[in-house]
Structure 1
Amino acid sequence: MIRFFRRLHNYYYIFTALLTLALFYPLLWFYSRKQSRYPTLNKLRRVCCYISSTASGIFFNVTEQEPVDWSRTYIVCPNHTSNLDILAMCIAVKGNYHFMSKAELANTPFFKIFAKTVDIPVNRESKISSFKAFKKAAENLKQGQTLIIFPEGKIGDEYPPILEEFKSGPFRLAIELKIPILPITSLNTWHILHDSGFKRGSRPGICDIFIHKSIETAHLTINDADLLKDEVYNLINQKFMSADLPNAVTMKSVSVG
């Protein structure tokens, strides 16, 4: 019976997401036509995420280890256990940003308009596609657009989830461009909606998002990329493993950053 209601909630969540997208689509389409309009497109994306999640009873509690200077450009590295992580990043990250995401999202209704404009789709099985994607990301970063990239590159099959091995690309790019890394731990989105939700459904609740202190890279060389990767992995893994899941869906004060 519980699984039935969780699956029912997941369909309702998808419905609210598609309905919100349909209502905002004329504005999204207009602001996706020119790169100069992308900052406004991102603001609209944040609004869509907030409305669709709130309508489904899903909220985001964002905590910063220390105040983040959102006027700076970052490479944001979150863990990835749920499709809700994308919404969480849209709400938690301020300023102009773009995602590097899997190419399949370019074929889904909710993400298509973003994947084919402001974001960078990449086929991670193709070295050529990855090379082009990181080249484009470097260009965007130089223009002051924060990059959000999930360094695991996938949502793992394990349940409960574990932190998968990180790819080196984001950390090499951060060192090459001397851009700080901003680690973010999504503590319990998987408890509310794991992966796409089609297998285990979803439920209302509060997603706790923790933004770690940024890590400067100006003093690092490319030979330090693996050390930087390990440092970020350990930070996120330690925080993720400390999550207090029994409190993940209890009511408490909520902030959206």
Structure 2
Amino acid sequence: MKGIKIIFWILWRLWFYIVMALPILIMFPFLILSIVSYKGYPYFFRMARVWAKFILFAMGFYYKVRKEYNLHPKKSYMIVANHTSMTDIMLMLAVVKNPFVFVGKQELAKIPLFGFFYKRTCILVDRNCSKSKNDVFKKAQKRLSLGLSVCIFPEGGVPDDESIILDTFKDGAFRLAIEHQIPIVPITFADNKKRFSYTFFSGSPGIMRVKIHAPIITQGKTILDRKELRETTRKVIYNQLLDFNFKNDNSHPNTSQEIQV
């Protein structure tokens, strides 16, 4: 039985990279045209959402979303979520309709084919370089001026220890949100670690539960408030992870509210 599982995991992981590449190859000419200028990004984003949904479907993942808030299509947000899996990127694209750009580590640009578009459409950061971190603010300003939102995984990476429920948050997302006075929207991914973690011999098809939380307002906040915003946001996601783990997913009705901190 263990041997069968190992064979399944090997084939399934290889299949993941095939289904990552296939839609990119099919849409390649249109993707190239959409990244010629910043103005074409909304078209690229639509194709990226098709790519993401195709991967989730082909891998046997289906997602269930609970919302406290519907993002306004004409408004910019700082979107943050917990980070445990490569599928976090696909799931984020699948559940958020508002065009946004990822702020992510530059190492992902080395992935063949995917990396080509990643480095041309995302804001890359070298976390060991202060100049790179400062450049993020300038690049984010340019995207926000076009009406886009920004998405950051504030843990700054995936912990090697998979027993960690939620790692500490870095300040970057909250500094950006304060500087541009945009609301922070926390999103909790409940099952991505179980479905497709970075441990090679693990995972399975199945449900991916998502909770889109009410926005945390930054209007009137200053850089001195970043730690409070950071910990408030982390608490929202952490508590929801505990809720997903210990309570029935159908026990909570949807609500819509704004949180003022």
> Is residue 172 of structure 1 aligned with residue 162 of structure 2?
no
Paired position in structure 2 for 1:46: 49
Distance of aligned partners of 1:67 and 1:95 in 2 relative to their CA distance in 1, 3 Å threshold: closer
Whether the 8 Å contact between 1:171 and 1:229 is mirrored in structure 2 is: yes
Take 1:25 and 1:245, find their aligned partners in 2: how far apart are those partners? 43
Whether the 8 Å contact between 1:105 and 1:121 is mirrored in structure 2 is: no
Aligned length: 246
Paired position in structure 1 for 2:73: 70
Question: Which shifted more, 159-168 or 221-230?
Answer: 159-168
SS across alignment from 1:49? helix
Paired position in structure 2 for 1:181: 184
Paired position in structure 1 for 2:128: 125
> Is residue 243 of structure 1 aligned with residue 244 of structure 2?
yes
Question: Which shifted more, 111-120 or 35-44?
Answer: 111-120
Whether the 8 Å contact between 2:71 and 2:98 is mirrored in structure 1 is: no
Cα-Cα RMSD: 1.9
> Is residue 57 of structure 1 aligned with residue 63 of structure 2?
no
Whether the 8 Å contact between 2:182 and 2:218 is mirrored in structure 1 is: yes
Name which structure has the greater RCO, CA cutoff 8 Å, separation 6+.
1
Residue from 152, 156, 159 that aligns with 1:156: 159
Paired position in structure 1 for 2:256: none
Whether the 8 Å contact between 1:24 and 1:48 is mirrored in structure 2 is: no
Percentage of pairs with the same residue: 31
SS across alignment from 2:185? strand
Alignment of 1:172-251 (within 5 A): 172-195=175-198, 197=199, 199-244=200-245
SS across alignment from 2:104? strand
Shift of 1:247: 8.5
SS across alignment from 2:162? coil
Whether the 8 Å contact between 1:188 and 1:207 is mirrored in structure 2 is: yes
Shift of 1:246: 11
SS across alignment from 2:42? helix
- TM-score of the superposed pair, with normalisation by structure 1: 0.89
Residue from 2, 6, 29 that aligns with 2:9: 6
Question: Which shifted more, 57-66 or 218-227?
Answer: 57-66
**Is there any run of 5+ residues in structure 1 with no aligned partner, and where?**
249-257
> Is residue 34 of structure 1 aligned with residue 37 of structure 2?
yes
**Is there any run of 5+ residues in structure 2 with no aligned partner, and where?**
250-261
Take 2:140 and 2:79, find their aligned partners in 1: how far apart are those partners? 12
Distance of aligned partners of 1:246 and 1:237 in 2 relative to their CA distance in 1, 3 Å threshold: closer
SS across alignment from 1:7? helix
Whether the 8 Å contact between 1:152 and 1:167 is mirrored in structure 2 is: yes
Paired position in structure 1 for 2:109: 106
